[in-house]
Amino acid sequence: ERAPFIPQEHTLWLPWGRFFVMDTIVMRHEENDIPSCDLSSFSRPVPVVSPAPLTAFAGSCSERGTVVPEIQSLQEEVPIPGSDMKLSYLSSRTAGYKSILRVTLTHSTIPFNLM
């Protein structure tokens, strides 16, 4: 919404799990008298965006080796001789690492009126 233009809303029905790139939107000053459908009775899916967390389980699982699948990185701890300290390396902390965002477009059950 940008003054002096009128707000616009575009509804698209897409297959589950698909992204869509919209064409250029042209803002208008005057109202358009195009009839629209009443969508008030439909459930609207709400995407959930969350970062991929490093779980407490990931660091304590010795069977998985050095790979941390939750964040697609490598983790290694090397003991420092003559001390009780360890040198810890996690590849997600290096320059050039790209974080993962999980986008959940649908929930575990699909509302009946969207099938």
Q: For residue 71, is it within any domain? A: yes
Q: For residue 74, is it within any domain? A: yes
Q: For residue 39, is it within any domain? A: no
How would you classify the pairing of strands 101-104 and 48-51?
antiparallel
DSSP letter for 114, please.
G
Which of 90, 100, 110 minimizes the C-alpha distance to 15?
110
Q: For residue 24, is it within any domain? A: no
Read off the pLDDT of residues 46-102 as tens digits, 9 standing for 90 and up: 777 776 665 555 555 666 677 777 677 788 888 999 999 999 888 877 888 777 777
To the question of pTM greater than 0.75 for the whole model, the response is: no
pLDDT, residue 68, reads 73
Phi, psi of 75 (to 5 degrees): -135, 135
Instruction: Return the H-helix or E-strand segment holding 51.
Output: strand 48-51
| Domain encompassing residue 110 | 48-114
- Scanning the structure block, which residue is given the tokens 């575990």? 108
Instruction: Return the H-helix or E-strand segment holding 58.
Output: helix 56-60
Structural domains counted in the chain: 1
